[in-house]
Structure 1
Amino acid sequence: MTSWLGIIRLITCLGIVILFFTGRLEMNKSAAGVALGLLSLHFWLALPTYHGFITTLMIGSVVCFFFRWRLLIYIGIGACLANLAATSYLKNVQLAFIEPRNITIVGEVSSLLNHKKPDTLFDFVTSEMRSSDIRASKTLRVRLGWSEQVNIPEMKQGERWQLQVRLRPPHGRVNSAGYDRERQYVGQGIHATGVVLSGIRLAPSQHTLSGLRQSIFDAAVDYTEGLSHRGYLLALGFGFRGALDAKDWGILRDSGLAHLMAISGLHIGLAIMLGWWSGGILRNLVGDWPYAIWLPLWLGLAIGALYAWLAGFTLPTQRALLMSMVALVLLRFRIIWPGWQILLLVFAVSLALDPLASYRAGFWLSFAAVTVIALAYAGGVRFEGHAGLGVYQRWYGKWQALILLQLSLLVLMLPVQWLWFGGFSPWAPLINLLAVPWVSVTTVPLVLAAIVFSPIEQMAMVCWQLANTALTPVLWLAQWTQGGWWTLADSQGNWVVGVVVMAVLLWMLPVRRFIGLLVTLSIVVLLWNKPLFLFSDPKAELSGRSPAADRWQVDLLDVGHGLAVLISTRNRSVLYDTGNQWPGGSIASAVIEPVLKQRGQATLDGLILSHADSDHAAGADYLEVAFDPEWKRSSDFRAGYQACIRGEQWQWHSLSFRVLWPPKQVARAANPHSCVIEVRQFSGMNEGTGVSLLLTGDIDAVSELLLARLEPGLSPDILLVPHHGSRSSSTATWLEQMGWLGNMSPKYALVSVARFNPWQLPSGEVRQRYLDKGIEWLSTAESGQVTLAIEGGEIEVVRYRQDRKAAWFRPAIPPP
């Protein structure tokens, strides 16, 4: 982010706030208009449309100013700020990718790092970039990793380093479902990723705020060594999530406690309350000193700000701190605003400070949760009891209000949970009902006390141990919910919206008076099996269409370097290869599972492994447990797998599978033993007609030559390019000798390959060989997931990077 852009944002935000407080702007129009203008960045898809709309909007704002249409003027202000943010981000991304060779950068480490476990990934903010012909002062935020996994130097937040790196633009897998790394990079303001080749420390982090935060964190790491819940405690104290593994995140997701184990608005509110309480005690001690009357207010804000600083000023802490500041300043100056007005102001200011924040799930979850709480309050949920009630009645009322609030959060947060995570935890109300009060009263104060007493080792260690003990019953309870996450398919979106609408109507409208309306709407929701027009995705998945007997679909998933192909018909699927795995995760869990569950498929009909290499078969064990395939085939000997060798044939729904290679099973199938299968539409007497697909795995040139002799008439319409487009495959002999006319010429060539892979796949020579034959080249590196929908002999192609998830930050990738 350039300094001039930050100054413009700051001046704009200060101007908006000052005009709001002085009453010069209409609150509802101005804040809503600015917010709408800023959110336009989130919904514009392509750069040409984006800039054209900006120009039209600016001209329209001038016209609106002349006619005094103020709302559109505010929208124009927000849109201009959004334009500045997008343009700055794209320019920085282009600057970061100067050239593929090494460059030198100078800057500061911005990540909080654990000295007990050196991290290979860290964030770095540059102040200078140097190459052979370029030397520029530029502020970029880059995410780096050390090229060597051993002998990594110890780094600390706030230190200045000179690093020799190889940078590349932010890039990630693009599929119909699953983790979208590119979107996350935009939300975090990451301009580039790269590999560190060498580094020199220029200055330590002493005498800086970042260094102070790192030193407090280092002390906490030492004090919590050996504690069973160390990762959770560091997350609660500093917003540091590096000590939480995949199992921990699974527990937090399934129990609905993810918000509780990262510093959020709840924790900032608790810190402010502790500061207010401490300020009240001090005010009583100083007596009648006139300036002490507001001591609780300022001390509460100070402690809240300190806690937000410890958390790195994450999005939830920013929102909570801004809301608290506005509310307490209004209290200080005896100004009364309704709660929704404060929320709207903070929403607009948060977006103005960082328009790209709208690309992060935490932003929407944070504001959505506060909105639901405000709606619950407006709907009659109150925690304060009447003075005339007894102790039992007051406590009963508070617990009743807490239960209603948790149910409100579960139901009304469903759309946000569905859009960002594809599901929800039904256990969240119960777990949060018990965990939130307990953690708020015990764990968080103990964590804060441990941080305060960091200079006193014995006191700090006692507080950390007590906080660890206080977390034990919460996490024990959360573990009972493992596997309790409910996935919502795309086809269930209308149910999500219907449930939310009905819940709001039942809450707001008296049942006796509106019984007819409520019953009618309930029937409509139950019988409505089509997506709602206003809330349906105009880019709905091809698999979401009504099933037809002769329609089938091929999905080449974007799995980086590896292979995973889904073959689907009638909302059932067969998987060819599973992609790779890594410590703590796999393609099977990160890509294949989300795609299948998005379609509402809880099982696989079949699983085929082409050969035993990890980039093709590493996720088999996971999928066997998660989706329980009805049948499994492989070209090597595996327990529970049928043979996938030449001569094997079977039918599945309207498709026929014919194995062409290898001639026999082996102990461990390597590239030459890949299972090659022809898939073709099967319809009674017309078995040999229709569109055909050839799955080739990683066969090499020798296997291609032998296969060409065995199957001289083979001429598929869709060909999976062997071995990711390597020079060792796709020989001229393979392409020229096959087919009835001695020339295999499929319509489409599919290649599964990672961008920036170290093997420089696919080979440019191989790619040109296909293009010279007039074959359309479809690569996951350029197109993301590639979907081919086949019906009536026609093939419809969808490239997810260009056709389904195109966005201003995701420009078309030129071929290598």
Structure 2
Amino acid sequence: MRAMWCGFALGVIVLQRQAALPGWGAWVALVLATVLGATWAAWALGGAAPADESHVGLSCGRRRRMASGWAAVWFAAACAGFGYAAWRAETRLAEALPAAWEARNIAISGYISSLPSYGASGASFLFRVESWEKHKAATPLPHLIQLSWVAREAPLPPLVPGARWRLAVRLKRPHGNGNFGLRDTEAALLARGVRAIGYVSDPGHAVRLPVDATGVGVRIERARAALRARIDAVLGDAPHRGIVIALATGAQDAISDADRRLMRNTGTSHLVAISGLHLAFVAGLAGWVAGALWRRARWRGVDAPLIVPAQKVAVAGALLAAGVYAALAGFNVPVQRALWMLMVVALALFAGRELARSHVLAWALGLVLLRDPWAVTAAGFWLSFCAVAAILFAASGVPRLHRDAPQDASADAADPLHDRTDPFAGPAERAGAVRRLAAMALPPDDWRGAMRRLASRLGDSARVQWAVTLALAPLTAYWFAQIPLIGPLANAFAIPWVSMLVAPLVIASAAMPAPVDALALRAAHTCLDWLVVALSALEGLPWAVLRLPQPGAWPLACAAVGVVWWLAPRGWPMRWIAPFTWLPLLVPAPTGPPPGAFRLTALDIGQGTSVLVETARHRLLFDAGPGPESTQAGERIVVPYLQAHGIGRLDALMISHDDSDHSGGAQAVFDGVDVEAFVAGILPAHPLWASARTRGAQTVRCAAGQRWRWDGVDFEVLWPDPGPLAGKPNAHCCVLRVTTAASVAPEAQDGRVSALIAADIEAGVERTLVARDPERLRAQVLVVPHHGSRSSSTEPFLDSVWPLVAIFQVGYLNRFHHPHPGVYARYAARDIVLARSDADGAARVEARPGALAVERFRDTQRRYWMDPPTQD
């Protein structure tokens, strides 16, 4: 079963990397390959040796036959996994919002199907559509959509799961920002079954329908909402209220940014998510209580354990409690993994079968992917399964305890330690049980026995923590661009603190009546206060976090080999080589362009501007996108992009002018990376100047005539003129020109390649620049002025720049309707290569002397769930 489920998972993973779903020809080939693989596996393994025959004793031909049979099992299972995931994807993608319905008022009726997530301006929730009033479509319409309800003139109404509403909404197809190296939010929406997103466009005329929805899912969500309301009522605005809510309901939207950053930097983020650790605690406690009560129960004068063994009752109680707790947690992937493992073990126990832990993990892997084939696109899937796999693999190398045992079988059978281990345990668990029983055999008054027991448990805990930290380090670097070096020490006390104090108090409060539950919740919050103080002290250490660029496939593969080598059983040959396999991960090769060249990346941040310019050893960020007042793109996209690409320091942050879609994310950049120089076209009283000086950045107001050279690349500011800033912000925003070194090729005439970043200049500034020096405007790459608005990109300006590539940074279905159709047609008529962030995602330009290359995210990173690309 291990080979089958692992092959199935491989097929699912391969499908989620495809740019398109298979056509009918590929389906025929897939079915034939599955049948052939299964047939070969049945033939090759059908005549294999009996289960008790040693593989060593097989003939060479029989071993080759068995190897080919297991390879066929992997192949057939991978084809089946690929086909299953493709079928699920086709079924889900069949529901689609017609493109003509986007950004229009649509009347719908349905009910709230999830626990609402509250923010500063309103709430968001999943809405199950029961009817599209006065609207018909040729294709199936989405049944599940994600809505935002913004509190404007009136406060939010009670948004209770199951409540039916008639709403006027504006929707759009699922669309996420596409940036190199960052998570794909479209995949997350697809995994949740969300096929349209939007907002309530007319809250004043929303109608609450009289009959609420019923059903198991709605009841669960109502229970979660009621539990959250109780916590809110008790803790109010307590600083760590969000962690308590996360531990109780699995909802993490209330966790503060400070707490989230602290736990990420100390490697303790897993503690705030309801994970397998918390579910195991609940299941273990419930199983112990159920077993203890059953052992003392009697039925008609007969002891209850004589009717049903207490062990089975304990397992059933543990399974029931785990299922309830998993429902409250929202069935995230780590919880699913732990729940499926518990269910498989319970079924094996009830059936009287012995099952290895690796088989249990394989069954959990298959069941998770059967329920959600898109789980492989989330970090939680990899972190959860790899952590458990690392524990099992590392434990398999723990040596058994060697004792002076009798030599004959009868004496061994008489050994009091014989058959005292868990029948479901693997070699490591059996060895651990033997060590514990051996320690317990010592005289109770022997202090050396107590020390041995303590040392044994500490050693096992340290080995487990080491294995998990080592195994998850490459994944942490890939998903979060950092490795918390302080993680093992922080988890050494944070795990028992949360598991033994905080989580039990939070869980117990859910079953306590008022006002006793308030005492438990306040005690849990006090324990969190103390934990945060300790973690903050560790976070302040200079070596607490190692930040790395997001590794590619080759460094990850090398690090994975090193993990296996390090955690292999004792006696594994040449273990000293293992650390060297981590060098590609820990010491990445330089990724910047060569001297004399530059790389320009126009990020997809929605409606706004943020452009990263890289030379061989320097980095400049031009604008930082929207901030908290809008989409928080600076915090959500710009800073994570910098960190994912190993940019922890900017040589310059240039903010063109004081429009929120350009300057709003600057504060997040200051908080996330070091800034050497701050150059801006904003008024002297703007708070960003003070923020830059506080962080030790050099401050300069941008003005025409400023020039500098980095690594052979020339930078020049063309606008605004020196002197006091006057007029509206668009009239004095910074304009930057970047130029490569001259080409050394004899056939090239100069060969310089330039890029012009024009911010939000309008027709008046364009005319001034053209009249002043049209040759200085010449550039092969143009970041289009003012997002392609009608007030910019005049004909004389385009004639002077004469770009080969034009980049529009615009939001998907933005309310300004940028770019203006007439302006866009003006660019298209000049046969310019066009890239627009709403359709193409981020655009990356590699400019070298005499050479120019353009890469669009949705061209090179396309996945089957993305809408088809637009044609130039």
Structures share fold, TM-score greater than 0.5:
yes
Q: Give the letter for the 1:612 counterpart.
A: D
Q: CA deviation at 1:218?
A: 2.7
Deviates more, 1:106-115 or 1:230-239: 106-115
Please say if residues 490 and 598 of structure 1, whose CA atoms lie closer than 8 Å, have aligned partners that are also in contact: yes
1:245-295 per-residue CA deviation (whole Å, 9 max, x = no partner) reads 212211221122221112111111111111111112211221312444232
1:563-588 per-residue CA deviation (whole Å, 9 max, x = no partner) reads 11111111421222221211698433
SS in 1 for 2:522: helix
Q: 1:238 aligns with which of 222, 225, 249?
A: 249
SS in 1 for 2:200: strand
Please say if residues 680 and 688 of structure 1, whose CA atoms lie closer than 8 Å, have aligned partners that are also in contact: no
1:127-159 per-residue CA deviation (whole Å, 9 max, x = no partner) reads 332344459986622111125444222111122
Deviates more, 1:106-115 or 1:758-767: 106-115
Return closer, same or farther for 1:172/1:544 CA change in 2, 3 Å cut-off.
farther
Q: CA deviation at 1:655?
A: 1.5
1:39-50 matches, within 5 Å, as: 39-47=13-21
Residue of structure 2 equivalent to 1:581: 627
Please say if residues 97 and 196 of structure 2, whose CA atoms lie closer than 8 Å, have aligned partners that are also in contact: no
Q: Give the letter for the 1:728 counterpart.
A: S
Please say if residues 643 and 665 of structure 1, whose CA atoms lie closer than 8 Å, have aligned partners that are also in contact: no
Is 1:248 aligned to 2:304, yes or no? no
Residue of structure 1 equivalent to 2:533: 476
- Cα distance in 1 between the residues matched to 2:755 and 2:651: 18
Please say if residues 246 and 584 of structure 1, whose CA atoms lie closer than 8 Å, have aligned partners that are also in contact: no
Residue of structure 2 equivalent to 1:312: 330
1:128-527 matches, within 5 Å, as: 128-134=131-137, 140-149=143-152, 150-197=154-201, 198=203, 199-202=206-209, 203-204=211-212, 209-210=219-220, 211-225=222-236, 227-287=238-298, 288-289=303-304, 290-293=306-309, 294-380=312-398, 384=433, 385=436, 386=438, 387-389=440-442, 390-453=449-512, 456-482=513-539, 484-490=544-550, 497-508=557-568, 510=570, 514=573, 517-519=574-576, 526=583
Q: Give the letter for the 1:30 counterpart.
A: M
Deviates more, 1:639-648 or 1:564-573: 639-648
Return closer, same or farther for 1:750/1:213 CA change in 2, 3 Å cut-off.
closer
Identity value in percent: 28
- Cα distance in 1 between the residues matched to 2:136 and 2:339: 45
- Cα distance in 2 between the residues matched to 1:206 and 1:523: 58
SS in 2 for 1:416: helix
Q: 1:657 aligns with which of 682, 707, 715?
A: 715
Please say if residues 103 and 164 of structure 1, whose CA atoms lie closer than 8 Å, have aligned partners that are also in contact: yes
Return closer, same or farther for 1:73/1:407 CA change in 2, 3 Å cut-off.
closer
Return closer, same or farther for 1:683/1:657 CA change in 2, 3 Å cut-off.
same
Please say if residues 606 and 810 of structure 2, whose CA atoms lie closer than 8 Å, have aligned partners that are also in contact: yes
Return closer, same or farther for 1:152/1:689 CA change in 2, 3 Å cut-off.
same
1:12-31 matches, within 5 Å, as: 27-31=1-5
Please say if residues 188 and 360 of structure 1, whose CA atoms lie closer than 8 Å, have aligned partners that are also in contact: no
Return closer, same or farther for 1:748/1:603 CA change in 2, 3 Å cut-off.
same
Q: CA deviation at 1:625?
A: 5.3
SS in 1 for 2:606: coil
Count residues in correspondence.
Answer: 766
Residue of structure 2 equivalent to 1:109: 112
Q: Give the letter for the 2:249 counterpart.
A: F
Q: CA deviation at 1:519?
A: 4.5
Q: Give the letter for the 2:247 counterpart.
A: L
Deviates more, 1:425-434 or 1:603-612: 603-612
Please say if residues 751 and 849 of structure 2, whose CA atoms lie closer than 8 Å, have aligned partners that are also in contact: no
- Cα distance in 2 between the residues matched to 1:183 and 1:480: 37
Return closer, same or farther for 1:747/1:127 CA change in 2, 3 Å cut-off.
same
SS in 1 for 2:650: coil
Q: 1:597 aligns with which of 620, 627, 643?
A: 643
SS in 2 for 1:259: helix
Please say if residues 239 and 312 of structure 1, whose CA atoms lie closer than 8 Å, have aligned partners that are also in contact: yes
Deviates more, 1:286-295 or 1:89-98: 89-98
Q: Give the letter for the 1:476 counterpart.
A: V
Unaligned runs of 5+ in 1: 1-26, 532-542, 739-743
Q: Give the letter for the 1:388 counterpart.
A: A
Return closer, same or farther for 1:643/1:297 CA change in 2, 3 Å cut-off.
closer
- Cα distance in 1 between the residues matched to 2:120 and 2:643: 35
The two structures, once aligned, show a CA RMSD in angstroms of: 3.1
1:21-52 per-residue CA deviation (whole Å, 9 max, x = no partner) reads xxxxxx234323333333332222334x6765
Is 1:615 aligned to 2:619, yes or no? no
Q: CA deviation at 1:503?
A: 4.4
- Cα distance in 1 between the residues matched to 2:797 and 2:142: 51
Please say if residues 127 and 139 of structure 1, whose CA atoms lie closer than 8 Å, have aligned partners that are also in contact: no
- Cα distance in 2 between the residues matched to 1:329 and 1:595: 46
Please say if residues 718 and 746 of structure 1, whose CA atoms lie closer than 8 Å, have aligned partners that are also in contact: yes
Q: CA deviation at 1:194?
A: 0.7
Unaligned runs of 5+ in 2: 43-71, 399-427, 443-448, 690-697
Residue of structure 2 equivalent to 1:21: none
Please say if residues 577 and 608 of structure 1, whose CA atoms lie closer than 8 Å, have aligned partners that are also in contact: yes
Q: CA deviation at 1:363?
A: 1.9
Is 1:666 aligned to 2:751, yes or no? no
Residue of structure 2 equivalent to 1:703: 765
- Cα distance in 2 between the residues matched to 1:560 and 1:213: 33
TM-score normalised by length of structure 1: 0.87
- Cα distance in 1 between the residues matched to 2:214 and 2:743: 78
Residue of structure 1 equivalent to 2:421: none
SS in 2 for 1:659: strand
- Cα distance in 1 between the residues matched to 2:771 and 2:375: 58
1:452-494 per-residue CA deviation (whole Å, 9 max, x = no partner) reads 12xx212222222222233332222222244744322146876
- Cα distance in 1 between the residues matched to 2:352 and 2:308: 17
Q: CA deviation at 1:451?
A: 0.8
SS in 2 for 1:582: coil
- Cα distance in 2 between the residues matched to 1:475 and 1:205: 41
Residue of structure 1 equivalent to 2:868: 812
Q: 1:558 aligns with which of 604, 614, 625?
A: 604
Deviates more, 1:36-45 or 1:550-559: 36-45
Return closer, same or farther for 1:509/1:242 CA change in 2, 3 Å cut-off.
closer
Q: Give the letter for the 1:811 counterpart.
A: D
SS in 2 for 1:413: helix
4+ long deviations beyond 6 Å? 114-118, 527-531, 684-688
Q: CA deviation at 1:762?
A: 0.5
Q: Which has the larger radius of gyration?
A: 2
